[in-house]
Structure 1
Amino acid sequence: MASRSQSSAAMLAPVIALAVPAFAGNALQNEPIHPVPAAAPQDPARVALGRRLFSDPRLSANGVVSCASCHNLQAGGVDGRARSLGFNGRLTALNTPTVLNAALNFRQFWNGAASTLEQQIGMVVENPVEMGSSWPVVVRKVLDDSGYRRAFNAAYRDGVTRANIENALATYERTLVTPGARFDRYLQGDNGAITAAEKAGYARFKQYGCVSCHQGVNVGGNMFQKYGAVMPAPSAQGAGLGRFLVTGNPQDEQVFKVPGLRNVARTAPYFHDGSAATLEQAIDAMFRYQLGRESTSEDRKLIAAFLATLNAEPAVQP
């Protein structure tokens, strides 16, 4: 993982001219973005349990909210709100990130508080705004369901436990990766998979330095960065504490996990506070606050066109 100081320095680097990508054999070589691999094989019984739990509102205190309430798998893995509604109708502090490709992130949550999907699930269940429940209560509800009880006994040696519920959900989420995007096919050697305009958008994405933070398999999700690395950026009230809530270091205010951009064209609104309603607004803000320059309408249009080529569906349909 690059340190925050290293990643900030990368964002401040001067714009350089990049060579036209060259195909070697059937694949595009030396690109900062890499194709999404197929999901790693998972235990089918545990995946089936996780799929059921993902849509079960009984995980919340009052039986109203499930994981799927905020992570709509038919809409890019988000709910389309600037901030989500918790179990009692209160708004969450931050925008809900997509669950698609979450398994590719190096940490979970905007502030990186969880290092695994299992930890993330454990914290959401007990969050006083999101699900508002407790693990003893959740375990009891699952035990009281005979179907769950039989399935857990078949899938896990010790049956229904908090750890096994977390693992089942995380196992299911690990299947929610999205290989086969048009841009991935381009990287793999299909030069006609994206249009000339989309290629031009990718060239600008690299030329202006966006790839300093948005690269790798998930086009992000692998470092922390200050929101407002070059110019101070506004943030919704109470939403700017970021990584500070984990480290207690004042320098980590407004520092967040860089979001992955897979399926980003489907996950508006954008940023930790949901302050950008459209993808072009988000691109404009990134130019201003992260790159210290103004975007043109052509920049926004072309880069948005490139980002749309990152859309794909999970290989295993939820």
Structure 2
Amino acid sequence: MKSTRFVVAIAAASLTLASSLFAAEKSETVILGDSALTAGIPGEGPLKLEEINQWLAEPKNHQPLGVELPFGLNAAAGQITGLDVNPMTRAKIELGRQLYFDPRLSSDDSISCASCHHPDFGWAFESQFGIGVDGQEGNRNSPVSFNRILSGPQFWDGRAATLEEQAVGPIANPIEMANTHELAVDRLKKIPGYKVQFDKIFDDGVNIDNVGQALATFERAIVTGPAPYDYYEVVRSFEKQFPADELEYLEEDDPELFAKYAEAQKNAAGMSESARRGREIFFSEKGNCTACHAGANFTDELYHNLGVGMDAEEPDLGRHAVTKQDKDRGAFKTPTIRNITQTAPYMHDGSQATLEEVVEWYAKGGHPNPHLSDKMKKLNLTQQDKKDLVNFMKACTGDFPKIEPGRLPE
């Protein structure tokens, strides 16, 4: 029993809520997803200059933070990007939060980052395409802005090399915020609450690069919490090591270890029998899902042609517009499966309204075209298999940190 317990103890250790990275030489280490990082400066109503100055006067708000990922994402700690050049601080997260929800970055005060990537819609939006100033529509669905700390190049086609670059792109896009970087910066300089923050946080005050750094820092703080799937993996580890008739003795033999098993069982309740079957399909050749949706965040961060939209007279060529390589025609970035139930509609063009439609698309092998990914194959799935896959994806949903969307500088 002792040797077996040792193996299971290793698995049980995955219940630890986080795996640290970038903690060395930092004054404090925080777990991303903690609502205290994103809840805003305490108080009600518009942010007054006095409140902002009091916040800025607190030294701990300017200390670089070491970060940990919450349980579920912790296995992807090695994929964290951007903190070496843009360290996180509480003050920078808070400034980014304000900018994210502020429509004054747009030309007519109508559009903010949250207009297309809103916490009420899984940090994406319910419309098929992003909607900008004067109701203008693009031709792509709004990608999610959570778990971006694990992503390098941004947008469906990867045209922005960093999250900082992506963050300022929509400001100058004529069909999004329809502003210019120069005018946006000039406006921020005229808002005392913003100017004092930029001057305190950055050596060179208000400029578009620092706007991007603040926005990116806030977005890196938005991560998904543990999902029923994550806890179920712990349950599976226990049950693989202990036959059913031995588990009943574990409580008596090692109460502390059994308590971890019981906690995982309780939190895995959202993994129904159907979802458990779906998990087996997802991770097997039968479903072939992990050919692209791999790793702790369920994405390879690569670009694939699934045939979506390729039957159009002039299809969106996606990644090809960036690389000019023939192999990238019609290829788009793999989205995460985490919290996908909250982010409909799906695909880069928002053409599929439900997860059931998405599974059907994969089951038929996508739409044939000369550049279809070699990972797309027809799947031999029953109707029950398809339901099970959908239920598994739903069980990959965790909580988001609480966000204060208001409380902007006067």
TM-score (norm 2): 0.66
Do the aligned partners of 2:303 and 2:328 also contact (CA within 8 Å) in 1?
no
Q: Which runs of 5+ in 2 are unaligned?
A: 1-6, 15-70, 236-263, 367-375, 405-410
Q: Which residue pairs with 1:214 in the alignment?
A: 293
How large is the Cα RMSD of the aligned pairs?
2.4
Do the aligned partners of 1:235 and 1:273 also contact (CA within 8 Å) in 2?
no
Distance of aligned partners of 1:70 and 1:136 in 2 relative to their CA distance in 1, 3 Å threshold? same
State how far apart, in whole Å, the 2-side matches of 1:233 and 1:93 are: 11
Question: Once structures 1 and 2 are overlaid, which stretch shifts more, 136-145 or 306-315?
Answer: 306-315
State how far apart, in whole Å, the 2-side matches of 1:55 and 1:304 are: 32
Return the letter of the residue paired with 2:397: N
- Give, in angstroms, the shift of residue 271 of structure 1: 0.1
Do the aligned partners of 2:309 and 2:315 also contact (CA within 8 Å) in 1?
no
Matches within 5 A, 1:210-249: 210-228=289-307, 234=310, 240-249=316-325
Do the aligned partners of 1:239 and 1:272 also contact (CA within 8 Å) in 2?
no
State how far apart, in whole Å, the 1-side matches of 2:338 and 2:142 are: 15
Do the aligned partners of 2:152 and 2:163 also contact (CA within 8 Å) in 1?
no
Question: Once structures 1 and 2 are overlaid, which stretch shifts more, 154-163 or 186-195?
Answer: 186-195
Return the letter of the residue paired with 2:339: N
User: Is the counterpart of residue 163 in structure 1 residue 240 in structure 2?
Assistant: no
Partner-residue secondary structure (3-state), 1:141: helix
Return the letter of the residue paired with 1:204: I
Q: Which residue pairs with 1:301 in the alignment?
A: 387
User: Is the counterpart of residue 25 in structure 1 residue 11 in structure 2?
Assistant: yes
Return the letter of the residue paired with 2:353: A
Q: Which residue pairs with 2:46 in the alignment?
A: none
Return the letter of the residue paired with 2:383: S
Question: Once structures 1 and 2 are overlaid, which stretch shifts more, 269-278 or 86-95?
Answer: 86-95
State how far apart, in whole Å, the 2-side matches of 1:239 and 1:106 are: 26
State how far apart, in whole Å, the 2-side matches of 1:134 and 1:263 are: 33
Return the letter of the residue paired with 2:163: L
Q: Which residue pairs with 1:15 in the alignment?
A: none
State how far apart, in whole Å, the 2-side matches of 1:237 and 1:274 are: 18
State how far apart, in whole Å, the 2-side matches of 1:239 and 1:198 are: 35
- Give, in angstroms, the shift of residue 127 of structure 1: 1.4
State how far apart, in whole Å, the 2-side matches of 1:250 and 1:72 are: 35
> Which has the bigger relative contact order, CA under 8 A and spacing at least 6?
1
Return the letter of the residue paired with 1:225: H
2:187 equivalent among 137, 141, 162: 141
User: Is the counterpart of residue 74 in structure 1 residue 150 in structure 2?
Assistant: no
Question: Deviation digits for residues 47-74 of structure 1, max 9, x if unmatched?
Answer: 1111110011111122111001111112
Partner-residue secondary structure (3-state), 2:135: coil
Return the letter of the residue paired with 2:289: C
Do the aligned partners of 1:176 and 1:316 also contact (CA within 8 Å) in 2?
no
- Give, in angstroms, the shift of residue 27 of structure 1: 6.2
State how far apart, in whole Å, the 2-side matches of 1:60 and 1:308 are: 35
2:274 equivalent among 176, 192, 197: 197
Matches within 5 A, 1:59-98: 59-98=105-144
Matches within 5 A, 1:32-43: 35-37=72-74, 42-43=88-89
Do the aligned partners of 2:229 and 2:395 also contact (CA within 8 Å) in 1?
yes
Do the aligned partners of 2:147 and 2:224 also contact (CA within 8 Å) in 1?
yes
Do the aligned partners of 1:105 and 1:221 also contact (CA within 8 Å) in 2?
no
User: Is the counterpart of residue 274 in structure 1 residue 350 in structure 2?
Assistant: yes
Q: Which residue pairs with 1:11 in the alignment?
A: none
Return the letter of the residue paired with 1:107: P
- Give, in angstroms, the shift of residue 35 of structure 1: 2.1
Q: Larger helix proportion, structure 1 or 2? A: 2
State how far apart, in whole Å, the 1-side matches of 2:384 and 2:156 are: 30
State how far apart, in whole Å, the 1-side matches of 2:224 and 2:343 are: 14
Distance of aligned partners of 1:88 and 1:294 in 2 relative to their CA distance in 1, 3 Å threshold? farther
2:100 equivalent among 54, 59, 74: 54
State how far apart, in whole Å, the 2-side matches of 1:233 and 1:283 are: 16
Higher Cα Rg, which structure = 2
State how far apart, in whole Å, the 1-side matches of 2:162 and 2:315 are: 23
State how far apart, in whole Å, the 1-side matches of 2:397 and 2:329 are: 31
Q: Which runs of 5+ in 1 are unaligned?
A: 1-21, 29-33
Q: Which residue pairs with 1:176 in the alignment?
A: 222
Equivalent residues, number: 289
Runs of 4+ displaced beyond 6 Å: 38-41
Question: Deviation digits for residues 249-287 of structure 1, max 9, x if unmatched?
Answer: 233111111111111011111000111110110111122
Partner-residue secondary structure (3-state), 2:388: helix
Q: Which residue pairs with 1:251 in the alignment?
A: 327
State how far apart, in whole Å, the 2-side matches of 1:60 and 1:108 are: 21
Do the aligned partners of 1:107 and 1:221 also contact (CA within 8 Å) in 2?
no
Do the aligned partners of 2:309 and 2:349 also contact (CA within 8 Å) in 1?
no
Return the letter of the residue paired with 1:227: L
